[in-house]
Amino acid sequence: MMANLSRLLVMAMCSFINPVMAAISAIEIHETLQEASEDGIFEIGEMHVKIGWHYGEIGFRGSEIIGDAPVTAQQIIGLAKADEILTSEQSVHILPEDMQENSHLIDTLEAEAYVGKLKVYTMPWEESDEVTKFEPVGSAKKEEPQISILMLNYKRQDLRLDADHPHCTIGRSQENNLSVDGKFTSRLHAEITYKHGSFYLKDVSTNGSAIVYAD
């Protein structure tokens, strides 16, 4: 994994014994720097890094990491922007499913370390402003998850979301898991995802969405 501290022009490379540790470390780096920047710890102001990583075999020449993996990681980080985590397709596919769910392809280019294509994925590490988290009305935060099952019902359509069925799409198109025919409904209007004991609504529509709690 490589991290580029762009304002200081510092490049660092390190290795991990498995890809899960690399992915978690990348997220924790961004989270820690964000918190420290908000607390005003750095004299230079806010600090942002770019992270690119790749899963593959490596070698060592003294303390130097060598092989195809570091070359690929360096190519990936060249595409990264501040506060981003980018990785390769093979890296994403080796991760557990719950760590893959929000990753998506952003570019395909000729690999510098081998003959073939390098597919680069982004791994979002913070919840977007467009994502709404469902919490029970009036509930306080506890260590144990408050919600484990979400039942959706619309015009005789019943849909259950839980740990085994963690994702659904909602919209006017019949291709969605829950088809909603409405004047202001987009073909793909929203997505609901189950993650870490809670449900998240992501609006992807033109007209927006509203959540109204029942009495």
Q: Tell me the CATH number at 177.
A: 2.60.200.20
Shared-domain flag, residues 77 and 177: no
What pairs with residue 98 in β-bridges? Answer: none
Residue 168 included in any domain: yes
Instruction: Give me the phi and psi of 114, to 5 degrees please.
Output: -155, 170
Give the helix/strand (H/E) hosting 24: helix 19-38
Rounded-to-integer distance, Cα 86 and Cα 122, Å: 5
CA-closest candidate to residue 26, choices 51, 9, 5:
51
- Asked if residues 77 and 113 have their Cβ atoms less than 8 Å apart, the reply is no
Shared-domain flag, residues 57 and 155: no
Residue 22 included in any domain: yes
Shared-domain flag, residues 100 and 144: no
Structure-token match 């529509």, residue found:
205
Residue 211 included in any domain: no
Proportion of the chain in helix, strand, coil states, percent, rounded to 5: 20, 30, 50
Last residue of a domain, one of 122, 157, 183: 122
Whole-prediction pTM: 0.55
Last residue of a domain, one of 122, 150, 174: 122
What contacts 24+ positions apart, CB below 8 Å, involve 162-165? Answer: 162/194, 163/194, 165/194
- Asked if residues 113 and 90 have their Cβ atoms less than 8 Å apart, the reply is no
Shared-domain flag, residues 160 and 96: no
- Asked if residues 148 and 162 have their Cβ atoms less than 8 Å apart, the reply is yes
Shared-domain flag, residues 88 and 138: no
Shared-domain flag, residues 61 and 82: yes
Rounded-to-integer distance, Cα 119 and Cα 80, Å: 13
Shared-domain flag, residues 141 and 191: yes
DSSP string computed for 25-53: HHHHHHHHHHHHHHTT--TTS----EEEE
pLDDT of residue 145: 45
CB atoms within 10 A of CB 79: 16
pLDDT of residue 134: 52
Instruction: Give me the phi and psi of 167, to 5 degrees please.
Output: -150, 145
Residue 163 included in any domain: yes
Last residue of a domain, one of 122, 156, 175: 122
What is the domain extent for residue 161?
131-203
Rounded-to-integer distance, Cα 26 and Cα 3, Å: 9
Count of domains forming the chain: 2
Tens of pLDDT along the chain (215 residues) come to 655 544 455 678 888 888 899 999 998 999 898 888 888 888 877 888 899 999 988 888 888 888 898 899 999 988 888 889 999 999 999 988 878 878 888 888 899 998 999 999 998 887 554 455 555 444 444 444 455 788 988 888 899 988 888 889 998 888 889 998 888 888 888 888 887 677 888 888 877 887 777 65
Residue 187 included in any domain: yes
